[in-house]
Amino acid sequence: MLSKNPYRGTRDFFPAEKRIQDYMFAMMRKTAESFGYESYDGPMLEEVELYKAKSGEELINDQIYSFTDRGERFVAIRPEMTPTLARMISQIYREYPKPIRWFSIPNLMRYEKPQKGRLREHWQFNCDIFSGEGRLGEVEILLVASALLENFGATHEHFEILLNDRAIVDCVFNDLMGVDKELAYQLYKIVDKSKKVTSEALTKMIDEKNLEGPARKVFEEYLALSSPEQVIDYLKSYGKEEVANSFAEFMSLIDESELGPYITYDPCIVRGLDYYTGIVFEIFDKNPENRRAICGGGAYANLLQIFNEDPLPGVGFGLGDVTLKDFLETHGLLPNLSINDIDLVLSFQTLEARKSVWNIARELRRKDIKVLNLFEIVKFKKLFPMAEKKGASFVGIIGEDELQKGVIQFKNLKTKEQIDIALSDFDQMAEVLKKAQNEIN
């Protein structure tokens, strides 16, 4: 027997759920466009070679949905947007006015175990800026991410931005510790896990890497850093003035932009080993019941390397719809979208009035009024409860009496007020309905 359930790790969006998704997407678009970002999109299918070049074997072997098409091309449903973005930017970046500010809300698919905050199919809000002026692009991306959550009603009491700078991490590992790339990779893993394990477990992990003497001291000092001021002093104490001053400049821009209340320095934020080159960050929910990353991103320079193009500095972030919805629900920031939003339900109480109802509906829709037409005569006892369940603000009724008078009766379902309007006065009808809309909003 066929299952009525969606494929594992995907979702059906019934109208109430779709209204929530549409609301989130509209806020994403509104926020990005308010910063001057342009919308883009790409194909659902890309050749697997594109993901091999950008993302490595783990993604290819374990997580992508791939198949050979009828033309013998090995293709995949997109698991992420960055390779497509790189391919598109590589075509136009030389001529395109800079900085390039783009955003997208693609749906993506990865074969992984469904769990809280993670499904096989999700939508992701991506924002990227290319050739931004120095550190200013990094600050702007943080402003976009925080503005989105603020537009939903969130404050610094709800979320925080944990950040680090890959220039600092690379300086510590390469210059101060002098470890090779393989050991650096292993230490990255330890850094990433350090806040998730006990101090005893952390010590054991470090011991297993045979990290001793000055290198171990530098590493443990690094893990203990907890504020921008400490980081700057730490770097200067080892004579790394250039890296310290660059980070100090970034933090002064953070203060100028008034992002300070959101920012927490965290040495454990390192993200992709071979990808990011500057600021890296993750936005975390502060609620203990949903203490997880909402989104993440950072600065990079080698996005176009897979196409043998020149380095192009960029910075961006991605925010998934699943984690965003969890965050908004946790903090009670989602509006009640359980019922539809209809301006007017039109009801004829005699067949002779049906033509007038069709005419009114047509004219009001041209004025951006949402009108639901009933197909049959519905008695008042059922009409008003049904209209309320449909989410209507008004019911418009034309019966024998109204038809003789040449009017339609509008009834406000919230205030119970009634008003008669001439059948031909579409402007007054629209005015009454839009006034009610404004009062609700």
In a domain, 54, yes or no: no
| pLDDT average, residue stretch 347-368 | 95
389, 306: one domain: no
pLDDT value of position 201: 86
With bands split at pLDDT 50, 70 and 90, how would you rate the model's confidence at 59?
confident
Q: Which of 294, 309, 331 is the last residue of a domain?
A: 331
- Reduced to 3 states (helix: H, G, I; strand: E, B; else coil), residue 24 is helix
Model confidence at 420: pLDDT above 80: yes
Model confidence at 145: pLDDT above 70: yes
Written as six digits, the tokens of 228 are 């921008």
Q: Residue 31: which CATH number?
A: 3.30.930.10
**Residue 109 to residue 9: CA distance in whole angstroms:** 9
In a domain, 51, yes or no: no
In a domain, 72, yes or no: no
pLDDT tens-digit readout, 263-320: 999 999 988 666 888 999 999 999 988 889 999 999 998 889 888 888 899 999 999 9
Model confidence at 252: pLDDT above 80: yes
What Cα–Cα distance (Å) separates residue 156 from each residue in 146, 284, 293, 333, 391? 9, 11, 15, 14, 34
- Reduced to 3 states (helix: H, G, I; strand: E, B; else coil), residue 224 is coil
- Dump the DSSP string for 339-351: S--EEEEEEESSG
**Residue 12 to residue 115: CA distance in whole angstroms:** 17
392, 430: one domain: yes
Residue written as token pair 């193009």 = 309
In a domain, 68, yes or no: no
89, 126: one domain: yes
307, 434: one domain: no
284, 422: one domain: no
Q: Which of 278, 312, 331 is the last residue of a domain?
A: 331
| Higher pLDDT, residue 190 or 143 | 143
Lowest-confidence region among 239-253, 301-315, 336-350: 301-315
Angle at 218 between CA 212 and CA 223, to 5 degrees: 110
Q: Residue 372: which CATH number?
A: 3.40.50.800
In a domain, 62, yes or no: no
Structural domain count of the chain:
2
In a domain, 6, yes or no: no
154, 179: one domain: yes
231, 153: one domain: yes
In a domain, 9, yes or no: no
Write out the residue range of the structural domain in which residue 359 sits: 342-439
317, 385: one domain: no
pTM above 0.75, yes or no: yes
104 burial via Cβ count (<10 Å: 0-12, 13-18, 19+): buried
179, 262: one domain: yes
Q: Which of 308, 331, 354 is the last residue of a domain?
A: 331
| pLDDT average, residue stretch 179-208 | 84
In a domain, 137, yes or no: yes
